Chains A and B, each alone.
Chain A
Amino acid sequence: MRSATDTGPGAAYAILVRDAAAGDRDAMERLLMRAQEVAYRFSLLICGHPEDAEDVMQDALLKTYQHVSRISDPDAFRTWLYTTVRNACLMKRRRRVGEPAHMVSIEQGARSADGGFAELDVADSARGPEQQLQDSWAGQRLQSALQSLPRAYRAVIVMREIEGLTTREVAEITGLSEANVKQRLHRARVMLRHKLEPS
């Protein structure tokens, strides 16, 4: 149970969820905006398919709206949201024309040696005007560096460093142990640094 003095991002979400569930319209609006922001960043930075962002945002919007009224544990909302967005990205990839029939997951493939999932990379399409707009948002340099990381590492570093999730939350979302999340985070940081600052 979180204490009243817990003021981290997870706690801020929980307060918003409670207020929205209690009928606070402003809280609901802010929560729905945040859900879409998460969906946008997830589509762009982890999945590497900004062309899916609009649909994934819409899915996050509707599911969050439906979920809030029946949520029993507001503290678990953030983990639920990221899991939901990840699944929406997965469904988009599965439906994509020309996707290999054996593709099992956008982010996850077979179980890997460290207990998580070995992730499959999917070839990206050409960068259109919408993608160029998105490039300028997160910075082409960071996005390119992130996309060059193996997907399993990219997901961990984006969720921990960009989204600000805790190690425990990332472990719940990915199915990894906390020790393995920390190990992947360390490797991802080192790889990302090499991409950003090649010696």
Chain B
Amino acid sequence: MSDAPDAGCRDLMTHISAYLDGDLDAVECAAIERHCAECPHCRDVVEGLRRTIALCRETGAAPLPPLVREKARASVRQLLARHDAEKSSRN
């Protein structure tokens, strides 16, 4: 099933990502918002895309699993300790 049931909606859909990214000017934003106020289909699409983007961003902000984080930290400390040991043996 298509996201855009008619030509007007399809045309508008091509600008939805630019709208969500804040790349459109005030006039273009107002046109999209007017359309969405009248078109429940496009309004649902915009809201759905917003939820999708928000879910992605939450994942990006999440810390690593504790076990993975511990392993990573141990690797860093091991590497820096080796570097320190090499440096002191050169001096």
Interface of A toward B, CB cutoff 8 Å: 25, 28-29, 32-33, 36-37, 40-41, 45, 53-54, 57-58, 61-62, 65, 133-134, 136-139, 142, 157-158, 161-164, 182, 185-186, 189-190, 192-193, 196-197, 199
Contact of B17 among A40, A158, A185 (CB under 8 A): A185
Contacts of B65 in A (CB 8 A): 133-134, 136-137
Given contacts A33-B73, A142-B59, contact A62 B79 (CB under 8 A): yes
Assess whether B10 is interfacial by the CB under 8 Å rule.
no
Contacts of B37 in A (CB 8 A): none
Given A61-B79, A162-B57, A197-B51, 10 more A-B residue pairs with CB atoms under 8 Å apart are A25-B80, A29-B77, A29-B80, A33-B76, A36-B72, A133-B67, A137-B65, A138-B62, A162-B56, A162-B60
Interface of B toward A, CB cutoff 8 Å: 1, 3, 14, 16-18, 20, 45, 48-49, 51-53, 55-57, 59-60, 62, 64-65, 67-68, 71-73, 75-77, 79-80, 83
Q: How far is the CA of A120 from the CA of B42 in the complex (A)?
A: 33
Contacts of B67 in A (CB 8 A): 133
28 A-B pairs, CB-CB below 8 angstroms? A29-B80, A33-B72, A36-B72, A37-B72, A40-B68, A40-B72, A53-B68, A57-B75, A61-B79, A134-B68, A142-B56, A161-B53, A162-B59, A163-B60, A164-B57, A164-B60, A182-B17, A182-B18, A189-B49, A190-B3, A193-B49, A193-B51, A193-B52, A196-B52, A196-B55, A197-B48, A197-B51, A197-B52
Secondary structure at the A interface, as helix, strand, loop or mixed, is helix
Contacts of A61 in B (CB 8 A): 72, 75-76, 79
CB distance B60 to A36 under 8 Å? Answer: no
Contacts of A37 in B (CB 8 A): 64, 72
Given contacts A142-B59, A162-B57, A162-B59, contact A40 B64 (CB under 8 A): yes
Given contacts A33-B76, A133-B65, A186-B16, contact A139 B59 (CB under 8 A): yes
Contacts of B71 in A (CB 8 A): 54, 57
CB distance from B79 to the nearest CB of A (A): 6
Q: How far is the CA of A142 from the CA of B52 in the complex (A)?
A: 9
CB distance A199 to B1 under 8 Å? Answer: yes
Closest to B71 in A: A54
CB distance from A8 to the nearest CB of B (A): 14
Please list the 3 inter-chain residue pairs (A to B) with the smallest Cβ-Cβ separation, ordered nearest first.
A161-B56, A186-B17, A162-B60
Given contacts A61-B75, A61-B76, contact A157 B56 (CB under 8 A): yes
Q: How far is the CA of A53 from the CA of B75 in the complex (A)?
A: 14
